Amino acid sequence: MTAPISPVAADSKIGSGRDNVVIFDTTMRDGEQSPGASMSLEEKLELAKILEEMGVDIIEAGFPIASNGDFQSVNEIAKIVKNSTIAGLCRAHQVDIDRCAEALKPTQRGRIHVVIATSDLHMKHKLQMEPDAVIDVIARSVTHARNLRDDVEWSAEDATRSDRQFLRRAIETAIKAGATTINLPDTVGYTYPSEYADLFDWMTKNVEGADKVIFSTHCHNDLGLAVANSLAGVQGGARQIECAINGLGERAGNAALEEVVMALKVRGDKLPFQTGIDTTHITRASRYVSAITGFPVQYNKAIVGKNAFAHESGIHQDGMLKNRETYEIMTPESVGQAPSSLVMGKHSGSHAFRAKLKDLGYELGQNALKEAFGRFKDLADRKKHVYDDDIIALVDDALARGSEKIRVSHLRVVAGTEGQSAELTLDVDGQAKSAEASGDGPVDAVFNAIHKIVPHSAALRLFQVHAVTEGTDAQAQVSVRLEEDGRIATGAAADTDTLTASAKAYVNALNNLFARKEKSAPAAIASGF
């Protein structure tokens, strides 16, 4: 099957060759829709830079009508990103589309992404619309979007549970109205690879005008099939894959970007398509997304898990020593993972530190570098061996902290059989505020002290501790998730002292929660299309 290429896309970098698969990243939109994965504007801007550098074709930066914060993210990202197309999501309403077009104004390369559901279930119960009325709305909304932008994607929400003939009619309507990309989402992660491949095969052969557009996959992972289904979609004729770093997304998540990209790269013999992704940026992107969302990457996660390239058993190690290909189908270097090595100690200078950061994929500005170097020196004083993973945790920690209004400045904890108490000083908007508290365990005492200084009604939903490296002097990486009035915010921090890391992570979550409150939108808009 040959790739359908849109005339609009054929002029741009996107889909410029028949053998290309367009990579559409939705970490900041669908990814952020997963409970607790909220990102600040600064974090999104940094992530957008990483995705652009990585060669992502399209960055879906948000859902502009959903909130002022989402509008601002799309708008600011549209100002700074030059080499990727920026997409904004909208429901099939004129006001959504206008708001999206407004947010995309700063970029030449903007895409309006319009979605409406096409399955009987969604049309009847969610939209409460007759199928003919849905067709009408598709025609009007896509025409309106196309009058504002040349690059318009139309998505048939719940496509995989839609009636095939009706879906064909809906797609033809969208194409006639000017859509340049047609996305057929497996919204609830229900489809099977053979079924999804057949859907694209059938649509690309039977839809009038199919040769004028690019078909796209968008797979959720409810049955753990998102990546397999995305690849099957390509086999069936799709030439765009929508995916997210670390598979972030609603419920069980979206297809993981790193997995689809590496599957295409490693098995080019099976699916002869290329992407524009520089895969050596993958690990950095994965770590950054994990740091800012507080969602840890599972150890055995494909491509980016801590154990993805670890060989423990004697037989495997023996094979590896003789020839790496015995047990490795790709090298760790190809995804930007360097073998963990002992790097530097307390005598290392700032030049060596800067060079190390560069090796690890970080380019920090002068101030950030100075701050990171100071933190590295502190760490080297406390910890015998400083590994790459320690430095990564340290820098990610500083990036995640950004410009916080509340900071931990002093903590003293008494723990043991006689009870636990904490003495804490926080810097709140430049003012030092102190409190003492006891608790049911030292972490509880610390959190109670925070509560005394910053009264709030947020409930603790998650408290997680991981060791960054091996050994009793390893840094602890702590993630905290808070919930208040249905709003969820996460925080993360790393320190050799678990209680200090806990305090910082909690304070980080509070900062994010307060920032989220400032920018938040009515929940009904944020959650429904």
Name the one range near ligand KIV by CB under 6 A: 1-9, 37-45, 183-191, 462-470: 183-191
Residues of span 459-488 touching ligand KIV by CB under 6 A = none
> CA dist 430 to 2, 42, 110, 447, 448, Å?
61, 21, 40, 21, 21
Query: Are 288 and 297 within 8 A, CB to CB?
Result: no
Q: How far is the CB of 346 from ligand KIV (least distance, A)?
A: 49
Token reading at 52: 């652009």
H or E, element range at 513:
helix 498-519
Does residue number 253 form part of the binding site for ligand KIV (CB under 6 A)? Answer: no
Closest CA to 21 of 336, 242, 175: 242
Q: Which of 119, 173, 187, 246 binds ligand KIV (CB under 6 A)?
A: 187
* Nearest-CB residue for Zn ion: 30
CA dist 370 and 527 (Å) reads: 41
Q: How far is the CB of 336 from ligand KIV (least distance, A)?
A: 28
Closest CA to 238 of 267, 207, 269: 207
Decide which of Zn ion, ligand KIV, none touches 297; Cβ closer than 5 to 8 Å per partner kind. none
Does residue number 22 form part of the binding site for ligand KIV (CB under 6 A)? Answer: no
Does residue number 115 form part of the binding site for ligand KIV (CB under 6 A)? Answer: yes
Left (φ > 0), alpha (ψ -120 to 50) or beta: where does 260 sit?
alpha
Name the one range near ligand KIV by CB under 6 A: 69-77, 103-111, 166-174, 181-189: 181-189
Q: Which of 6, 67, 118, 155 binds ligand KIV (CB under 6 A)?
A: 155
* 193 versus 253: smaller Cβ distance to Zn ion: 253
Q: How far is the CB of 219 from ligand KIV (least distance, A)?
A: 8
366 burial class (0-12, 13-18, 19+ CB within 10 angstroms)?
exposed
Name the one range near ligand KIV by CB under 6 A: 68-76, 182-190, 282-290, 397-405: 182-190
| Cα–Cα–Cα angle for 75, 76, 81, rounded to 5 degrees | 105
Q: How far is the CB of 216 from Zn ion (least distance, A)?
A: 12
Q: Which of 4, 15, 185, 294 binds ligand KIV (CB under 6 A)?
A: 185
Q: How far apart are the first and last CA of the chain?
A: 33
CA dist 463 and 480 (Å) reads: 5
Q: What single string gives the DSSP state of each residue in 265-303?
A: HHTTTTS--B----GGGHHHHHHHHHHHH--PPPTT-TT
Strand ranges inside 127-236, DSSP E? 152-157, 181-186, 214-219
Q: Which of 218, 284, 287, 301 binds ligand KIV (CB under 6 A)?
A: 218
Does residue number 25 form part of the binding site for ligand KIV (CB under 6 A)? Answer: no
Q: How far is the CB of 166 from ligand KIV (least distance, A)?
A: 16
* 181 versus 187: smaller Cβ distance to ligand KIV: 187
Decide which of Zn ion, ligand KIV, none touches 290; Cβ closer than 5 to 8 Å per partner kind. none
* 216 versus 420: smaller Cβ distance to ligand KIV: 216
> CA dist 60 to 70, 90, 394, Å?
11, 11, 29
Q: Cα–chain-centroid distance for residue 424?
A: 34
> CA dist 440 to 57, 231, 241, 443, Å?
50, 50, 49, 8
* 111 versus 218: smaller Cβ distance to ligand KIV: 218
Question: Binding residues for Zn ion, per CB under 5 A?
Answer: 30
Does residue number 92 form part of the binding site for ligand KIV (CB under 6 A)? Answer: no
Burial pattern 96-112, b for ≥16 Cβ within 10 A else e, equals bbbbbbebbeebebbbb
Does residue number 141 form part of the binding site for ligand KIV (CB under 6 A)? Answer: no
Judged by CB under 6 A, how many residues of this single chain contact ligand KIV?
Answer: 11
Q: Cα–chain-centroid distance for residue 63?
A: 15
Q: How far is the CB of 141 from ligand KIV (least distance, A)?
A: 14
Does residue number 181 form part of the binding site for ligand KIV (CB under 6 A)? Answer: no
* 162 versus 187: smaller Cβ distance to ligand KIV: 187
Decide which of Zn ion, ligand KIV, none touches 31; Cβ closer than 5 to 8 Å per partner kind. none
* 179 versus 450: smaller Cβ distance to Zn ion: 179
CA dist 410 and 449 (Å) reads: 12
Query: Can you give the binding site for ligand KIV, defined by CB under 6 A?
Result: 30, 89, 115, 155, 157, 183, 185, 187, 218, 220, 529
